[in-house]
Amino acid sequence: MAVQILAVDDSAPIREMIVAVLAPRGYQVETARDGRDALEKLHSALEPWIVLLDVVMPGLDGPAVVSEMYLDETIRAAGHQVILMSSPLRLAARDIPQTAGQLPKPFTRQQLVEAIARLAS
């Protein structure tokens, strides 16, 4: 079974870059434009996904999505792993929850591939 990835970012170019880098490597990549869209997709996921989650988004930001994921028993039970994406300064803030990983922006294609490979193995 291919590893499922959900790329959540309010920036279309970042979502497109993630798909362009990961899909040719055999990953199944879905995208979500915001936190609400992400939660809807995660709610119907049967297998655990790796979630690349932007921290700074309008509406439901990354930390709020992580909180909602924890509170929703169906989503929590699926065992999704979250990698938060943001500036190094934002990732160091107090409100940043513990997750499976962090990917400081801007990141290279190689850093993206390595971050996914660490969790996919």
Distance CA 72, CA 89 (A): 29
Residue 85, C-beta contacts closer than 8 angstroms, at least 6 positions apart: 9, 52, 53, 54, 55, 62, 102, 103, 104, 105, 107
**Per-residue pLDDT tens digits for 54-92:** 999 999 999 999 999 999 999 999 999 999 999 999 999
**Helix spans in the chain (H):** 12-22, 35-43, 62-71, 73-78, 88-91, 109-120
pLDDT of residue 1: 62
Model confidence band, residue 108 (pLDDT cutoffs 50, 70, 90): very high
Q: Give the mean model confidence (pLDDT) for residues 112-121.
A: 95
Q: Enter the tokens of residue 37.
A: 């869209």
pLDDT surpasses 70 at 5: yes
Which CATH number does 4-120 carry? Answer: 3.40.50.2300
Model confidence band, residue 121 (pLDDT cutoffs 50, 70, 90): confident
pLDDT of residue 2: 82
**Per-residue pLDDT tens digits for 92-101:** 999 999 999 9
**Per-residue pLDDT tens digits for 11-55:** 999 999 999 999 999 999 999 999 999 999 999 898 999 999 999
Distance CA 83, CA 87 (A): 13
In this prediction the pTM is 0.96
